[in-house]
């Protein structure tokens, strides 16, 4: 049977279920990664399940999100992560070593393997030929212990690339064009495979940029072939031995083919407040800019940084504008320092930020009130930058650097700056001294727990009947940032009772208090694409702690729906979407056969006591997922409690 790349990787890792589109399958995971915003809870859950050792080929714990250490909380969490990694056999990437996705691509990514990460941008690994999937920390903890990862057998779309990018047009513009085509919703259960003659014109870091922002489309992952370009990159990283060729069989089948001519793409931007709000740079030209932030896991590679340095060289950042640059890894930063490019950035007036996620998650470098900020990151959700009324645009490093020296949106094709011809190096600086790798002696390490680190919260078993109340009624495209604010609040990630005080903080500050005082089962009602964005399982865990038993929505995004199930919250969709408008905050909702309906896989019919109407809901779950919900979540289900 002729297979595409996705099918080759998934079928070679298939351990449970049949490879039939839409059906649940269980796959073996070769590698995992965690980061400190989600990893602390993942390792607490790993311990709570009684697991004793890592059973993947490789598991890496990165510290890249909460590196701003105001107060003891982040430093304590970092110490916990270091000691728990030593105890159980995890590679620990120390603070300052760089952003997990950039570093993993450089030092560990391997074609033909599976990677599961507790971060929604784990699909970056698709740039090197991995099926790399973002998931909640609990799913990653199970995989680290040797358990399978369960997902729906996907539809596979081929993106057939032809032509070659013109000067000033970038990989960022390619993925923004894809967002224009596929939008940010309606792609659950899809994996993208990039192919065609245009692929060979893209470097591995460029491919990784495109794979990274597949997360914004809601696809499970994006995968590129492993070819001579991949081999060259891995050789330059001094790990050519890990390379294998990976390509689709001639005549392989796809569920959809998207034709994309690279020659026809022009510089683009995602305008506020969605990565799918795509505009032409030519239409935005002349718009004043207050701040520029270059970096993040999307655009912080060596080539990106060298391009920025070449544009900035000999110029000065416009007065009144602030430029921050965060190289994606220590490797990139060291190379910039050695070749003089870092001096060019500093000479232009750039503020050199830590090689971390910082500004992307609103942890620092927030724009001024109402400021226009151009960023090379992947998300521009409202208030994510840390400034509620900021106007954040997502652009390429080239457009960002030009804005820094002109003070406005500038179409690079009309700029007086010469197009910088930057090529990938023949050899990267391969210095792994900031990794702490497992040794037998380290297994004796005592795990440190600071006062901010609590136990993973557990849910009660599913009630026999629902006696609920609608605690909040929200609209379409509610992101995990709406549900669970990031930024400075993330320092409470290990302390769920504290972090739960901020659920829906930017939507309805009264939500947590009302939930805790409620005598009913709390219910959330939402529109389309509920749970966009981060894999942050706290967006399910904290509502669970507040007594939420169900979310009724028009549709869900993949990772968040899985996280809701993992924490014993039923993700229900309206059979008739018009019923959404007939519910309101404060409505009493009942279902006398709540438990039985789920166990039998039957439609869930809920009575609105205010109107007397019956609302039929759909909850298409596998037998395994029904068991998890009935138990009150995956932790209960796994431990038998």
Smallest CA-to-CA distance from 128 within 217, 215, 235 is with 235
Pairing assessment for the beta strands 24-27 and 14-16 based on DSSP bridges:
antiparallel
CB contact set of 398 (below 8 Å; sequence gap of 6+):
168, 170, 267, 307, 308, 311, 412
pLDDT grade, residue 11 (50/70/90)? very high
How confident is the model at residue 126, as a pLDDT? 98
Smallest CA-to-CA distance from 630 within 460, 458, 457, 462 is with 462
Rg of the chain over Cα atoms, rounded to whole angstroms, equals 24
Judged against a pLDDT cut of 90, whether residue 6 lies above it is answered with yes
Judged against a pLDDT cut of 80, whether residue 640 lies above it is answered with no
CB contact set of 30 (below 8 Å; sequence gap of 6+):
13, 56, 57, 58, 110, 113, 114, 115
pLDDT (mean) for 445-457? 89
Residues 537, 41 contacting (CB under 8 angstroms): yes
Distance CA 57, CA 154 (A): 24
Distance CA 548, CA 524 (A): 7
Smallest CA-to-CA distance from 561 within 637, 628, 635 is with 628
Residues 421, 398 contacting (CB under 8 angstroms): no
CB contact set of 421 (below 8 Å; sequence gap of 6+):
none
Task: Report in angstroms the alpha-carbon separations of 606 from 115, 295, 575, 597.
Answer: 39, 47, 12, 11
* Mean of the per-residue pLDDT values of the chain: 95
pLDDT grade, residue 308 (50/70/90)? very high
Distance CA 640, CA 195 (A): 45
Q: Where are the beta strands (DSSP E) in 273-347?
A: 278-280, 291-294, 322-325
pLDDT (mean) for 483-499? 87
Residues 585, 592 contacting (CB under 8 angstroms): no
How confident is the model at residue 283, as a pLDDT? 97
Percent of the chain with pLDDT over 70: 100
Smallest CA-to-CA distance from 115 within 208, 200, 179 is with 208
Residues 4, 193 contacting (CB under 8 angstroms): yes
| Number of helical H runs and strand E runs in the chain | 22, 27
**Torsion from C-alpha of 557, 563, 564, 566, nearest 10 degrees:** 150
Q: Find how far residue 624's CA is from the centre of its chain.
A: 25
Judged against a pLDDT cut of 70, whether residue 139 lies above it is answered with yes
Smallest CA-to-CA distance from 324 within 279, 365, 379, 382 is with 365
pLDDT (mean) for 562-567? 95
pLDDT grade, residue 641 (50/70/90)? low
CB contact set of 454 (below 8 Å; sequence gap of 6+):
494, 495, 496, 497
- What separation, in Å, do the N-terminal and C-terminal C-alpha atoms of the chain show? 44
Q: Prior bond to 273 cis, omega within 30?
A: yes
Q: Where are the beta strands (DSSP E) in 171-242?
A: 190-195, 221-223
Give the Cα-Cα-Cα angle 132, 133, 139 (nearest 5 degrees): 130
Which three-class secondary structure state does DSSP give residue 569?
coil
Question: Token pair of 374, please?
Answer: 């151009």
pLDDT (mean) for 456-480? 93
Judged against a pLDDT cut of 90, whether residue 190 lies above it is answered with yes
Domains and CATH numbers, the chain: 5-264 (3.30.499.10), 268-412 (3.30.499.10), 466-635 (3.20.19.10)
Distance CA 529, CA 537 (A): 16
Top mean pLDDT of 64-68, 459-463, 587-591 is at 587-591
Judged against a pLDDT cut of 80, whether residue 630 lies above it is answered with yes
More confident residue, 291 or 600: 291
Judged against a pLDDT cut of 90, whether residue 243 lies above it is answered with yes
How confident is the model at residue 456, as a pLDDT? 86
Strand partners, 292: 323, 374
More confident residue, 390 or 69: 390
pLDDT (mean) for 502-522? 95
**Is the alpha carbon torsion for 522, 536, 361, 397 positive or negative?**
negative
Residues 411, 173 contacting (CB under 8 angstroms): no
Burial string for 463-488 (b: 16+ CB within 10 Å, else e) reads eeebbbbbbbbbeebbbbbbbbbbbb
How confident is the model at residue 267, as a pLDDT? 98
Distance CA 358, CA 326 (A): 9
Q: Tally the residues of the chain.
A: 641
Q: At what angle do helices 36-48 and 73-88 cross, to 10 degrees?
A: 50
Smallest CA-to-CA distance from 381 within 538, 184, 206 is with 184
CB contact set of 320 (below 8 Å; sequence gap of 6+):
290, 407
Question: Token pair of 580, please?
Answer: 């959404």
Task: Report in angstroms the alpha-carbon separations of 609 from 262, 519, 602, 613.
Answer: 56, 16, 22, 7
């Amino acid at each position: 049977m002729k297979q595409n790349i996705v099918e080759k990787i998934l079928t070679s890792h298939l351990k449970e279920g049949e490879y039939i589109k839409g059906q649940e399958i269980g796959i073996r995971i070769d590698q995992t990664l965690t980061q400190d915003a989600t990893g602390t809870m993942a390792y607490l859950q790993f311990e709570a399940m009684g697991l004793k050792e890592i059973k993947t080929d490789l598991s890496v714990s990165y510290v890249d999100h909460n590196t701003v250490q105001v107060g003891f909380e982040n430093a304590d969490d970092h110490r916990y992560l270091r000691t728990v990694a030593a105890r159980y056999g995890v590679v620990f990437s120390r603070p300052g070593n760089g952003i997990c996705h950039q570093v993993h691509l450089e030092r560990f990514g391997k074609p033909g393997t599976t990677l599961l990460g507790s971060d929604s941008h784990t699909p970056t690994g698709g740039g090197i030929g991995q099926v790399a999937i973002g998931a909640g920390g609990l799913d990653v903890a199970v995989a680290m212990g040797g358990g399978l990862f369960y997902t729906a057998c996907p539809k596979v779309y081929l993106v057939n690339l032809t032509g070659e990018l013109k000067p000033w047009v970038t990989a960022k513009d390619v993925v923004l064009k894809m967002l224009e085509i596929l939008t940010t919703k309606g792609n659950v259960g899809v994996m993208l495979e990039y192919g065609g003659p245009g692929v060979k014109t893209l470097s591995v870091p460029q491919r990784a940029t495109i794979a990274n922002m597949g997360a914004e489309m809601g696809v499970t992952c994006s995968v590129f072939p492993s070819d001579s370009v991949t081999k060259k990159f891995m050789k330059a990283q001094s790990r050519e031995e890990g390379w294998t060729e990976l390509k689709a069989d001639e005549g392989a089948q796809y569920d959809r083919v998207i034709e994309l001519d690279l020659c026809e793409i022009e510089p683009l931007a995602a305008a506020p407040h969605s990565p799918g709000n795509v505009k032409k740079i030519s239409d935005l030209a002349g718009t004043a800019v207050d701040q520029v932030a270059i970096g993040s896991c999307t655009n912080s590679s060596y080539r990106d940084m060298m391009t920025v340095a070449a544009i900035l060289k000999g110029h000065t950042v416009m007065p009144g504008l602030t430029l921050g640059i965060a190289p994606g890894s220590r490797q990139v930063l060291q190379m910039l320092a050695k070749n003089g490019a870092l001096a060019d950035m500093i000479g232009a007036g750039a503020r050199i930020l830590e090689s971390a996620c910082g500004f992307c998650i609103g942890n620092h470098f927030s724009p001024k009130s109402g400021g226009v900020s151009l960023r090379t990151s992947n998300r521009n959700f409202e208030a994510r930058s840390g400034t509620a009324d900021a106007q954040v645009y997502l652009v390429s490093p080239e457009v960002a650097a030009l804005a820094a020296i002109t003070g406005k949106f500038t179409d690079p094709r009309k700029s007086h700056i010469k197009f910088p011809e930057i090529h990938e190096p023949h050899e990267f600086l391969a210095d792994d001294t900031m990794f702490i790798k497992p040794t037998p002696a380290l297994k004796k390490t005592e795990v440190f727990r600071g006062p901010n680190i609590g136990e993973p919260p557990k849910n009660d078993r599913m009630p026999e009947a629902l006696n609920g109340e609608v605690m909040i009624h929200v609209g379409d495209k509610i992101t995990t940032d709406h549900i669970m604010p990031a930024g400075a609040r993330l320092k409470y990630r290990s302390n769920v009772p504290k972090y739960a005080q901020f659920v829906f903080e930017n939507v309805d500050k009264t939500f947590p208090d009302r939930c805790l005082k409620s005598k009913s089962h709390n219910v959330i009602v939402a529109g389309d694409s509920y749970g966009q964005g981060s894999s942050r399982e706290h967006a399910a865990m904290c509502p669970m702690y507040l007594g939420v038993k169900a979310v009724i929505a028009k549709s869900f995004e993949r990772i968040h729906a899985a996280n809701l199930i993992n924490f014993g919250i039923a993700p229900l969709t309206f059979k008739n979407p018009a019923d959404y408008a007939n519910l309101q905050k404060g409505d009493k909702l009942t279902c006398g056969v709540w438990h039985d309906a789920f166990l039998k896989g039957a439609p869930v019919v809920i009575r609105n006591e205010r109107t007397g109407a019956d609302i039929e809901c759909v909850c298409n779950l596998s037998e395994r997922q029904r068991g998890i919900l009935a138990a009150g979540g995956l932790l209960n289900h796994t431990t038998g409690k």
